[in-house]
Amino acid sequence: EAQVTQNPRYLITVTGKKLTVTCSQNMNHEYMSWYRQDPGLGLRQIYYSMNVEVTDKGDVPEGYKVSRKEKRNFPLILESPSPNQTSLYFCASSFADLSYEQYFGPGTRLTVT
Amino acid sequence: EDKVVQSPLSLVVHEGDTVTLNCSYEVTNFRSLLWYKQEKKAPTFLFMLTSSGIEKKSGRLSSILDKKELSSILNITATQTGDSAIYLCAVLGAQKLVFGQGTRLTINP
């Protein structure tokens, strides 16, 4: 089944403790992206990747890192999480770029205390 | 600054009613407008509208793009409880996709 998977689905952590949220797609998509969703603000793009080893900042990249060593994986790294990074995070992928339909993962609910 | 605004933010109707959701935008170098449905978690794609495809229909759902007014509407006819969801509008500009806040639609039996 074609899908985007994320892990973990839920995470509660403390300020400053490094964490990684994994994202994997099995559709051989070139483009992958991370979003965060906050009430009243909609979805905002954190980082995106057009291809392996090519990543770029989205609208809200501060406090996040990403890497794209393999086509299928695009992990999101929070080196030193803070409470303002408490949010619902989505990974998404598309065939080539944003002009194609994006497929979203199931989301990761992160709480930083 | 690029902006997408949806209205209303929340809407409650009875099953069988017809609803119209609105999306207006100010986005540089418009390329396309997308509608997504978000039920429990992940958004799922509904429609993509472009300059060459300003009207789309799928069953009870339809959408129109008005490039002159910089807006779009999403119509749902004969609503069902399964249509309850958050509906997201997003506009693709030169380099990025800008999302609106979403409209929370609740269909009561």
Mean of the pLDDT values across residues B6-11? 96
pLDDT at position A40? 83
pLDDT at position B82? 95
Q: Does B33 touch chain A (CB under 8 A)?
A: no
Going by pLDDT thresholds of 50, 70 and 90, the confidence category of residue B51 is: confident
Q: Please calculate the CA angle A18-A81-B44 and round it to the nearest 5 degrees.
A: 100
pLDDT at B101 over 90: yes
pLDDT at B21 over 90: yes
> In angstroms, what CA-CA distances link B69 with B10, B31, B44?
23, 15, 26
Instruction: Choose among A40, A45, A107: nearest Cβ to B42.
Output: A107
Chain A residues close to B88, C-beta within 8 Å: 42-43
* CB spacing of B102 vs A44 below 8 angstroms: no
The number of C-alpha atoms within 13 Å of B23 and in the hemisphere containing its C-beta is 29
As averages over each run of 10 residues, the pLDDT of chain A (113 residues) reads 94 97 97 94 92 92 96 97 97 88 94 97
pLDDT at B95 over 80: no
